[in-house]
Structure 1
Amino acid sequence: MKVASGLVAGQRADAELAGAAVEAALASAGLSRADNVILFLSREFSRQPQPAVLAAARAAGCLAVCGCTANGLFTERGWQLDQPAAAALVFATEGTSLTSADSPLLSFSGHGRLPFEWHQGKARVGLIDTDAAAWSHGRNSDNGCAEFRLPGLHGRLIRSSGLRPLGEPLPVEQRSGYELRRLGGHSALDSLRRVLPAEWRERLPLHLLSVLRQADAPGIALLSANADGSLTLAEALSEGELITWAIRQPLGAEQEIRQALSTALDQSQKPDFALMFSCIGRGPLFYGNDDRDLVAFRDTFPDTPLLGAYGTGQIAPLAGHNELFNNTALTLLFESAHV
């Protein structure tokens, strides 16, 4: 297998950017054409992505082009957030006989939530970016959803939420709709303040805080702190269930993904390439001047081709069904399945 990535940025959202990204990837892989292309385009392409998708297909010499638009793009060489850009990953099997494998169904959506029919069935991994365009087999999707399976590949998923639990699990004692009123013998607001560092108790960093039902479950966002001591959450809880406060911090998130990547390297061989689906609330906007998740990947898997995008939600399987995560970095490590 030959595989490589390419990232090209410009002043305008021209279709030629997509073709140039594919050509850069082909040159890096030493290929004249590709068997499959994963193409991500910046949000400037959302209204009319088809010319760029066709330009990528022409450059690759194949119609197996899938992907979506996103808030930002990256490869192993760097990231792009603030101007029109195209990022592509190309690969070719070059006649190698490959078996069907356990690669998950890559899924992309421009909906605000996980499509209903995607909750059950095949294991999916992918990205949601609100109002994004999506495409598969070289054609833009009319319903804003696209799915694609890379043939003959094993995929290992690494999920990094970046959430650090605060305190012990507490029982929900009183709630009303999306408002959490009392838990663990205190008002919701007092309960939260008791586990926070002193400097954050008066000015709550709500954008960094979450509620966890389980350690590996998606975090539930805190939307507002109310004058009556209640907290408004993004999801409704049930009285009697146990929840844990959690916080996202850059150092803790970086340590978590480094440990997860290192463990994956210890358990198996170096991957042929990787995909990463991250959050626009993570990446450089979370870490400061760089994407520390990307740095961690490069440190663990040097010279491994990587393609990634920043969206508003990440799709991953959990306990037999598919879930929508936020502020999470999903890394798919791919290895070829030889006969």
Structure 2
Amino acid sequence: MTFPGENDNASASIFLPSAFHGEKLVEEVQAARQQLGRGGPVLAFVFVSVEWAPHLSEMLEILRREGGIDNVVGCSGGGLVGIGQEIEQAPGCTMLFLKLPATRLRRAEITSGDLEDVAKGAPLDMITGVTREDFSGWVTVANPMRLPTDLWLAAWNRDYAGLPLYGGLASSHGTEDPFLFTEEGRTDAAMLAVHFADGVRLGGVVSQGCRPIGEPYIVTRVNQNMLVTIGQRSAYEVLEEAFDSLDLADQFGAKGNIFAGLAISEYKDEFRRGDFLVRNILGGDPQAGVLAVGAFPRVGQTLQFQLRDRNAADEDLRLQCAAAQNRYGQPFAGLLFSCLGRGRSLFGDPHHDSAVVEDVFGRIPLSGFFCSGEIGPVGGQNFLHGYTAATVFFMHS
């Protein structure tokens, strides 16, 4: 076995689908530390089920003592992800260790008070200490009970325009509240974000799990989040037309699974998957002909309805992962943020999203969790998504 040197990027991951067991964790951390090689500070992304919450202090002490790890970004998850493996609503822990000796890292802990300052117009770099020119991307975990996502993402896209942000909202199962933690233990921060500069490149995939149906049309009349007319026809009529274009099998499974796809950019001759921001259809009035959607569409924006099912979700993730490999090359590690609504409930079988990543990229160190909202860029802007698999890959620069 060969090990990386002091100046090499390195990674290792741990997946423990079980209740907390200190001796087992010690063994796993020691093996991961050996895999990382000599020297260099290590950043750990750590995701745990709520059953591990009473053992956080002991877990963090093991990471410090056995792994030399004193920089931890973590949260709870209602399901956990490893290399080709996933667990849902069950006890466990998953970790990704990154040794990045040539990379400048800065971790921001953003509080509810900081977000109040942002609401008053404070620039984010005053809070994070990071200017737009300093880095190539962010990875974040956030507490959905403390984070006003619309406000925060609007400020993020304003101050860090064009720079990717990947991550997810902490989740849990049962009646427990989600939580964030660092090497010091639980934190009341609304979000933890890590920026990466030099020595490593970030690239990723945001798979919204849909395929376009019907035809693309121009939005011609709106009232806030209400689609009134599309292509000068009633929005409800255009939706019915898209539904009628499906075969009988797709129509049978389409109830509750048709969404509005809003084009991010109009500067395209042809629209494909990945060109649309997928948002829920909240309701419709066939008499008035209007549809309510989970967004604020613009007059002149291109819209195409989207169908989500297991086949579309599988195909979309595979195509996007293959395209990412062609674009970025082979990563040395990854983080997968998958929606609580995916997994067994969508695909019928376990391990789907992590298995697709393994099929395309091989057995790279991988960690992640099932989120209550996934964060990633579409069309150069960062959004909060649902029913999505957002994956960030780490490549040598």
Letter in 2 for 1:125: Y
Corresponding residue for 1:88?
A: 95
**1-structure distance, mates of 2:387, 2:227:** 22
Give the total of aligned pairs: 330
**2-structure distance, mates of 1:28, 1:182:** 57
- Give deviations 1:83-119, integer Å, cap 9, x for gaps: 12111112446xxx52549552211111265252434
Over the aligned positions, Cα root-mean-square deviation in angstroms equals 3.2
State how 1:132-147 maps to structure 2 within 5 Å.
132-147=178-193
Q: Which moved more, 1:146-155 or 1:326-335?
A: 146-155
Corresponding residue for 1:222?
A: 281
Corresponding residue for 2:303?
A: 243
For residue 387 of structure 2, give the secondary structure of its aligned residue in structure 1: coil
Matched, 1:148 2:194: yes
Letter in 1 for 2:356: A
State how 1:117-136 maps to structure 2 within 5 Å.
117-122=155-160, 123=163, 124-129=165-170, 132-136=178-182
**2-structure distance, mates of 1:207, 1:220:** 11
Instruction: Quote how far apart the aligned CAs of 1:4 are.
Output: 1.9
For residue 219 of structure 1, give the secondary structure of its aligned residue in structure 2: strand
**1-structure distance, mates of 2:58, 2:276:** 39
Provide closer, same or farther for how the CA distance between residues 79 and 195 of structure 1 changes in structure 2, counting only shifts above 3 A: same
Corresponding residue for 2:259?
A: 209
Provide closer, same or farther for how the CA distance between residues 29 and 51 of structure 1 changes in structure 2, counting only shifts above 3 A: closer
Q: Which moved more, 1:272-281 or 1:165-174?
A: 165-174
TM-score normalised over the length of structure 2 = 0.71
Q: Which moved more, 1:175-184 or 1:69-78?
A: 175-184
**2-structure distance, mates of 1:22, 1:225:** 55
Corresponding residue for 2:230?
A: 183
Q: Which moved more, 1:208-217 or 1:72-81?
A: 208-217
Instruction: Quote how far apart the aligned CAs of 1:76 are.
Output: 0.7
Provide closer, same or farther for how the CA distance between residues 25 and 83 of structure 1 changes in structure 2, counting only shifts above 3 A: same
State how 1:44-83 maps to structure 2 within 5 Å.
44=51, 52-83=59-90
Corresponding residue for 2:34?
A: 30
Matched, 1:309 2:369: yes
- Give deviations 1:255-288, integer Å, cap 9, x for gaps: 2222222233334542211111121122332111
**1-structure distance, mates of 2:260, 2:77:** 24
**1-structure distance, mates of 2:61, 2:376:** 29
Corresponding residue for 1:260?
A: 320
TM-score normalised over the length of structure 1 = 0.82
**Which of the pair is proportionally richer in helix?**
2
- Give deviations 1:119-178, integer Å, cap 9, x for gaps: 433432111236532234544331331112457322222222222112222233444343
State how 1:192-207 maps to structure 2 within 5 Å.
192-196=239-243, 197=246, 199=248, 205-207=255-257
Maintained 8 Å contact 1:110/1:129: yes
Aligned-residue identity in percent: 22
Q: Which moved more, 1:250-259 or 1:80-89?
A: 250-259
Q: Which runs of 5+ in 1 are unaligned?
A: none
Provide closer, same or farther for how the CA distance between residues 171 and 226 of structure 1 changes in structure 2, counting only shifts above 3 A: same
Provide closer, same or farther for how the CA distance between residues 47 and 186 of structure 1 changes in structure 2, counting only shifts above 3 A: farther
**2-structure distance, mates of 1:280, 1:258:** 19
**2-structure distance, mates of 1:126, 1:216:** 20
Maintained 8 Å contact 1:35/1:64: yes
- Give deviations 1:44-91, integer Å, cap 9, x for gaps: 557995664455444432211112112211111410112121111124
**1-structure distance, mates of 2:63, 2:286:** 54
Provide closer, same or farther for how the CA distance between residues 225 and 132 of structure 1 changes in structure 2, counting only shifts above 3 A: same
Q: Which moved more, 1:238-247 or 1:193-202?
A: 193-202
Maintained 8 Å contact 2:206/2:378: no
Letter in 2 for 1:30: Q
Maintained 8 Å contact 1:133/1:144: no
